[in-house]
């Protein structure tokens, strides 16, 4: 059995650790609220974004490029599925042949 004094010290230590953790979280939350913007509640204009440094930056001007139909290969998802099915069947027959030998 533990002594009452040991239990009391353990409870106080645990409570102190929990209070310190939430206190540090609160301080961090308050300090980050001072920044210009935050990810959860951005206060930037429509043409700006909130960066990692908690400042509003303009979106870069990107030109939209369209590719010719001939340069884009149109792979369907079924191509990958058929590859997996054929590979699995080949592995099955190879392993079955080795087992029969």
CA 51 to CA 44: how far, in whole Å?
A: 10
pLDDT of residue 63: 74
The owner of tokens 């997996």 is: 84
**Domain containing 8: what range?**
4-100
Percent with pLDDT over 90 in the chain: 10
**Tokens at 65, concatenated:** 């490029």
First to last CA, the chain: 66
Q: Which residue has the higher pLDDT, 12 or 70?
A: 12
Instruction: State how far the alpha carbon of 25 is from the alpha carbons of 29, 35, 60, 63, 93, in Å.
Output: 6, 16, 34, 42, 59
The owner of tokens 């210009």 is: 36
Residue 17 pLDDT class (50, 70, 90 cuts) = very high
pLDDT of residue 9: 87
Percent with pLDDT over 70 in the chain: 71
**What is the domain count for the chain?**
1
pLDDT of residue 20: 92
């Amino acid at each position: 059995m533990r002594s009452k004094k040991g239990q009391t010290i353990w409870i106080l230590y645990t409570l102190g650790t929990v209070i310190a953790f939430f206190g540090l979280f609160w301080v961090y939350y308050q300090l980050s609220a001072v920044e210009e913007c935050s990810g959860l509640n951005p206060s930037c204009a429509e043409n700006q974004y909130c960066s990692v440094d908690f400042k509003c930056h303009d979106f870069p001007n990107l030109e939209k490029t369209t590719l010719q139909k001939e340069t884009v290969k149109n792979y369907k998802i079924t191509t990958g599925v058929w590859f997996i099915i054929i590979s699995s069947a080949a592995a099955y027959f190879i392993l079955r042949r080795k087992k029969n030998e």
